[in-house]
């Protein structure tokens, strides 16, 4: 044998030297769940270690993360039922919970990057990402709401708006609305290939945002498809997206790789709530080593081609790096 690949795996120093993929805290965006009230920090039962924060306690969480080197955040609001309606009106109320929290975070931490979700579901009495008319999600009318929502978030201080709704034409519409209002500098991170996935379950528990009827299959993608992701990527790019995202991450590593190979834009991957919950549940039962599984899964997402990882593990991973 003149080829022995094991020679490059012999010692830790050698393994580290030939390691192709490394993760740092710069790679992460940390999602944060926001609730009304004061001095609240309530754990999401299906996501051990992840809390829902009120506008005051979230500042402590951001401070702790910044201290660990995590500097990008994706806040998501949980909106009380009485503020929800068919048209998600609360999503563009400048005095609503979400814009208030964005302003507070930015005032206290002007250097962090805030990535804000644009979709109707947390504010919709139907629990859908678009307007429901006779059981259908109507596309073009929804764009009007998404534009107002994105503008409200930009006015509050968002650095990057992230449409996760999967309506056709949303990136172009949001870009136009932002530009017309002087927010040329606000970027768009498009949820480009967002699949209709069972892995969003714990997130919908956390925000109480599950659809009241039906599913999201007429707008989110069929998980059996990957060529369709290229169509979405092409459109988002033409419409002015600054980042492309794949979501979920772990069952979609091939899609991450496909977009990486077909685009020059930064590629983000969302390691979603159900992916986090699976690792945590198995670790709690003693069936998996939670820390090792965390590092392996996050590394695999980056190896597949993601430049940026949205993950509920971001803080824990930063703590692990510190050790």
Q: What is the DSSP string of 56-114?
A: THHHHHHHHHHHHT--EEEEEE---GGG-BTT-GGGG-TTSHHHHHHHHHHHH-TTSEE
Interaction between residue 129 and ligand PBG (CB under 6 A): yes
Q: Could you tell me the smallest distance in angstroms from the CB atom of residue 276 to ligand PBG?
A: 7
Asked if residue 211 lies in contact with residue 127, where contact means CB atoms within 8 angstroms, the answer is: yes
CA dihedral of residues 282, 287, 291, 292 (deg, nearest 10): -120
Q: Does 273 bind ligand PBG (CB under 6 A)?
A: yes
Residue 65 and residue 74 in contact, taking contact as beta carbons nearer than 8 Å: no
Q: Is 311 near ligand PBG (CB under 6 A)?
A: no
Count of residues touching ligand PBG (by CB under 6 A):
10
Dist. CA 19–CA 33, nearest whole Å: 35
Give the shortest CB-9-to-ligand PBG separation in angstroms: 35
Angle CA 283–203–137, to nearest 5: 150
Question: Which of 27, 121, 232, 316 is close enough to bind ligand PBG by CB under 6 A?
Answer: 121
Binding-site string for ligand PBG from residue 164 to residue 203, where x marks contact by CB under 6 A and - marks none: x-----------------------------------x--x
Closer by beta carbon to ligand PBG, 136 or else 180 = 136
Site residues for ligand PBG, 37-66, by CB under 6 A, read none
Task: Work out which of 65, 101, 119, 151 binds ligand PBG, going by CB under 6 A.
Answer: 119
Instruction: Pinpoint the alpha helices (H) of the chain.
Output: 12-18, 57-68, 97-108, 139-156, 170-180, 201-207, 227-239, 253-262, 273-284, 290-304, 314-322
Cβ 69 to ligand PBG, closest distance in Å?
A: 22
Q: Catalytic: which of 148, 216, 247, 280? A: 247
Beta bridge partners of 30: 73
Question: Closest distance between ligand PBG and the C-beta of residue 246, in Å?
Answer: 13
Q: Which is nearer to ligand PBG, 76 or 183 (CB)?
A: 76
Identify which of residues 57 and 209 has a Cβ nearer to ligand PBG in the complex: 209
Shortest distance, CB of residue 204 to ligand PBG, whole angstroms? Answer: 6
Secondary structure (H, E, C), 100-122: HHHHHHHHHCCCCEEEEEECCHH
Q: Is 272 in the site for ligand PBG (CB under 6 A)?
A: yes
Catalytic hit among 84, 148, 194, 302: 194
- Cα 105 versus chain centre, distance: 18
| 86 in active site | no
247 carries an active-site annotation:
yes
Q: Which residues are catalytic?
A: 194, 247
Q: Which residues bind to ligand PBG, rule: CB under 6 A?
A: 117, 119, 121, 129, 164, 200, 203-204, 272-273
């Amino acid at each position: 044998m003149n080829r022995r690949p094991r020679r490059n795996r012999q010692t830790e120093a050698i393994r580290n030297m030939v390691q192709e993929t490394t993760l740092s805290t710069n790679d992460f965006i940390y999602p944060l769940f926001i609730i009304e009230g004061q001095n609240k920090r309530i754990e999401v039962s299906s996501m051990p270690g992840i809390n829902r924060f009120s506008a005051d306690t979230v500042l402590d969480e951001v401070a702790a993360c910044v201290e660990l080197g995590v500097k990008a955040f994706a806040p998501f609001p949980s909106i009380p039922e009485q503020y929800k309606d068919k048209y998600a009106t609360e999503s563009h109320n400048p005095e609503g919970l979400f814009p208030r929290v964005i302003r507070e975070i930015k005032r206290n931490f002007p250097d962090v990057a805030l990535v804000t979700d644009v979709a109707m579901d947390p504010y919709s009495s139907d629990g859908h990402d678009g307007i429901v008319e006779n059981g259908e999600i109507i596309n073009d009318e929804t764009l009007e709401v998404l534009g107002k929502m994105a503008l409200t978030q930009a006015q509050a201080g968002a650095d990057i708006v992230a449409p996760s709704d999967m309506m056709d034409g949303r990136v172009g519409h949001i870009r136009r609305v932002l530009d017309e209002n002087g927010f040329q500098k606000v970027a768009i991170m498009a949820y480009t290939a967002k699949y209709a996935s069972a892995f969003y379950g714990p997130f919908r528990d956390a925000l109480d945002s599950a659809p009241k009827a039906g599913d999201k299959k007429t707008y989110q993608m069929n998980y059996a498809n990957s060529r369709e992701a290229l169509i979405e990527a092409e459109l988002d790019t033409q419409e002015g997206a600054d980042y492309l995202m794949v979501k979920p991450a772990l069952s979609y590593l091939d899609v991450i790789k496909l977009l990486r190979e077909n685009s020059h834009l930064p590629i983000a991957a969302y390691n979603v709530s159900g992916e986090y919950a699976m690792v945590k549940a198995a670790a709690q039962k003693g069936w998996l080593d939670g820390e090792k599984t965390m590092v392996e899964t996050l590394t695999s997402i980056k190896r597949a081609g993601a430049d940026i990882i949205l993950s509920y593990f971001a803080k824990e991973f930063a703590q692990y790096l510190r050790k």
